[in-house]
Amino acid sequence: MTPHVSVLIPAHNEADYIGSCLQAVFASDPLPAGMTAEVLVLANGCTDATAELARAAVPPEGWELQVLELPEGGKLGALNAGDAAARGDLLIYLDADVQVSPELIAQIAAALDGRAPCYASGCPQVPPARSLVTRAYARFWMRLPFFSGGVPGFGVFAMNRTGRQRWGVWPDIIADDIFARLHFTPQERVQVTASYSWPMVEGFRNLVKVRRRQNAGVAEVAESWPQLMQNEDTPRVGPGRALRLLLRDPAGFLAYAAVALAVKTPLFASRSRWTRGR
């Protein structure tokens, strides 16, 4: 049976990003021999031109494009609708503001092409930010173990159908990427060499809001699915390493520490569980 790749892109009011996201996907290198592919744009609760811009994209030979318009907003509902519609043996989940390198999808497809449960992602790159605080924060953050080691999977993560069968519908959670990653042991996770561009939010306020959501997402998974935490392989930053990071980049350390401290206060608090930060 010919393997089929499904790229699922949940998108809520992503008119500024969906065109370049699809352009990058459709500029991908040829898939491994015999594979075909489809892209499903999961436009959920959009009040802008996301769906229209997605339909205007022209897929190359060997690719299909389907735009699902869902009246209700919500990433997890969109993922469930996408999973139900996807025909692929290999599932790649892609944020709409991410741009993949030409090699990424083909490398992920090759890594997942097998019967054993497997999870894969690429090497994230954070493009230079406009704001000084985000540039400093990102510079420090990219030296932390979560980013520099393991297979983080934020922005892009993928699995074969055998791996996806480890849980049913996507639950209503904050951190879908962490939930998915922790369903696989470190030995089942593969990081391919190809890269992707993942933009960080701009400015101190947005960094605090998104960091607070990320922390809440990790805590939610740990509380509701404690058994998954045995698959967490990110080492903690000890005092020695923290000191070395401080000496190497004092400005980055201060930006990161300021955001981490602000998260513990009511500053910029939001009632929404989903904070985009832009």
Q: Is residue 35 part of a domain?
A: yes
Assigned domain for 59 exists? yes
Whether residue 250 is contained in a domain is answered as yes
* Per-residue model confidence as pLDDT tens for the chain (278 residues): 568 999 999 999 999 999 999 999 999 999 988 899 999 999 999 999 999 999 999 999 999 999 999 999 999 999 999 999 999 999 999 999 999 999 999 999 999 998 899 999 999 999 999 999 999 999 999 999 888 778 999 999 999 999 999 999 999 999 999 999 999 999 999 999 999 999 999 999 999 999 999 999 999 999 999 999 999 998 788 888 888 888 999 999 999 999 999 999 988 777 665 555 55
Residue with tokens 């025909």: 87
* Domain tally, the chain: 1
**What is the reported pLDDT for 91?**
98
Does a structural domain hold residue 268? no
Q: Is residue 270 part of a domain?
A: no
Domain-located, residue 274: no
In a domain, 275, yes or no: no
Looking at the domain assignment, is residue 273 inside a domain? no
Its domain, for residue 105, covers 4-263
Q: Which CATH number does the domain housing residue 95 bear?
A: 3.90.550.10
- Answer left, alpha or beta for residue 199, where phi above 0 means left and psi between -120 and 50 means alpha: beta
